[in-house]
Chains A and B, each alone.
Chain A
Amino acid sequence: MINFENLSFFAVILLSITSTMMIISRNWRFIIALLAIQYLGVFSLVAISWPIEMAMVKLITGWIIGTVVGLIHTTSEEGRLETGEFWPAGQSFKLFFILLILITVWSLASRVEEWVIFATRNQITGSLILMALGLLQVSLVTRPFPVILGLFTFLSGFEILYSTVESSLLIAGLLAGMNLALALAGSYLIITPITPENSR
Chain B
Amino acid sequence: MSAPLIWMIFPGFIAVVLLFASRWHKITTLVGSLISGFLFGLAILLPIVQEINLGSLSFQINDTLLIFGRQVIVQQQDLALLAILYFGMTLWISGNFLAGAPTIFPAMALGIAALLVAAISVQPFLYAAVFIELVALGSIPLLSQGMDARIGVLRLLTFYTLGMPAILFVGWMLTESGVSTPGSTQLSQVTLLVLTGFMFFLAVFPVHSWVPIILEKSPAYNAAFVVFWLLLTALFFGHGLLVRLDWLANTPVLWEVLKVTGLFLVVVNGLFLYFQTNLKRILAFAILSEIGFIVLALSQLPVAGSQLFYALIAQYVMPVALWSFSLANLSNQFLWFSTTESLTLSRPSPWLIHGIALSQFCILGLPLLPLFPLKIAVLDNLRGESAIFFFWLAVGIGGSLVAALRTLYSLLRLTPGEKTADPKSIWVKIPIISSTLILFLLGILPGVIISIFLRLVA
On chain B, the residues within 8 Å of A181 by CB distance are 134, 137-138
Interface 1/0 per residue, A162-200 and B, CB below 8 Å: 100110111101110110011011101100111111111
Contact A197 B147 (CB under 8 A): yes
Residues 280 to 307 of chain B near chain A (Cβ within 8 Å): none
Interface 1/0 per residue, B298-342 and A, CB below 8 Å: 000000000000000000000000000000100110000000000
Count contacts on A: residues with CB < 8 A to the other chain. 40
Contact for B140 among A178, A188, A195, A199, CB less than 8 A: A188
Q: How far is the CA of A20 from the CA of B198 in the complex (A)?
A: 30
Q: How far is the CA of A185 from the CA of B143 in the complex (A)?
A: 12
A sample of 16 more A-B contacts (CB under 8 A), given A158-B165, A200-B331, is A144-B150, A147-B157, A154-B162, A158-B168, A162-B168, A165-B169, A165-B172, A166-B168, A178-B130, A178-B134, A178-B164, A188-B141, A189-B145, A193-B145, A200-B100, A200-B332
Chain B at the A interface: SS class: helix
Question: Which has the most chain B C-beta neighbours within 10 Å: A138, A168, A198?
Answer: A198
On chain A, the residues within 8 Å of B176 by CB distance are 165
On chain A, the residues within 8 Å of B164 by CB distance are 178
On chain B, the residues within 8 Å of A185 by CB distance are 137, 140, 157
List 4 A-B pairs, minimum CB-CB distance, nearest first: A197-B146, A158-B165, A200-B219, A192-B145
**Closest B residue, CB atoms, query A181:** B137
Contact B150 A151 (CB under 8 A): no
Q: How far is the CA of A149 from the CA of B43 in the complex (A)?
A: 41
Residues 99 to 122 of chain A near chain B (Cβ within 8 Å): 115
Q: How far is the CA of A194 from the CA of B328 in the complex (A)?
A: 21
At the interface, yes or no: B189 with Cβ under 8 Å from chain A?
Answer: yes
At the interface, yes or no: A83 with Cβ under 8 Å from chain B?
Answer: no
Chain A at the B interface: SS class: helix
Given A138-B158, A194-B145, A195-B145, check contact A162 B151 (CB 8 Å).
no
Contact A170 B127 (CB under 8 A): yes
Query: Chain A residues in contact with chain B, CB under 8 A?
Result: 115, 135, 138, 142, 144, 147-148, 151, 154-155, 158, 161-162, 165-166, 168-171, 173-175, 177-178, 181-182, 184-186, 188-189, 192-200
On chain A, the residues within 8 Å of B140 by CB distance are 185, 188-189
On chain B, the residues within 8 Å of A199 by CB distance are 144, 146, 219
Q: How large is the interface on B (under 10, 10 to 19, 20 to 34, 35 or more residues)?
A: 35 or more
Q: How far is the CA of A103 from the CA of B227 in the complex (A)?
A: 39
**Closest A residue, CB atoms, query B335:** A198
Q: How far is the CA of A197 from the CA of B213 in the complex (A)?
A: 11
At the interface, yes or no: B363 with Cβ under 8 Å from chain A?
Answer: no
On chain B, the residues within 8 Å of A193 by CB distance are 145
**Closest A residue, CB atoms, query B334:** A198
Q: How far is the CA of A108 from the CA of B100 in the complex (A)?
A: 52
Contact B161 A151 (CB under 8 A): yes
**Closest A residue, CB atoms, query B139:** A185
CB distance from A67 to the nearest CB of B (A): 19
Q: How far is the CA of A123 from the CA of B186 in the complex (A)?
A: 21
Contact A197 B217 (CB under 8 A): yes
Q: How far is the CA of A199 from the CA of B102 in the complex (A)?
A: 12
Contact A182 B328 (CB under 8 A): no
Contact for A194 among B131, B133, B146, B172, CB less than 8 A: B146
Q: How far is the CA of A122 from the CA of B147 in the complex (A)?
A: 41
Contact B130 A174 (CB under 8 A): yes
At the interface, yes or no: B69 with Cβ under 8 Å from chain A?
Answer: yes
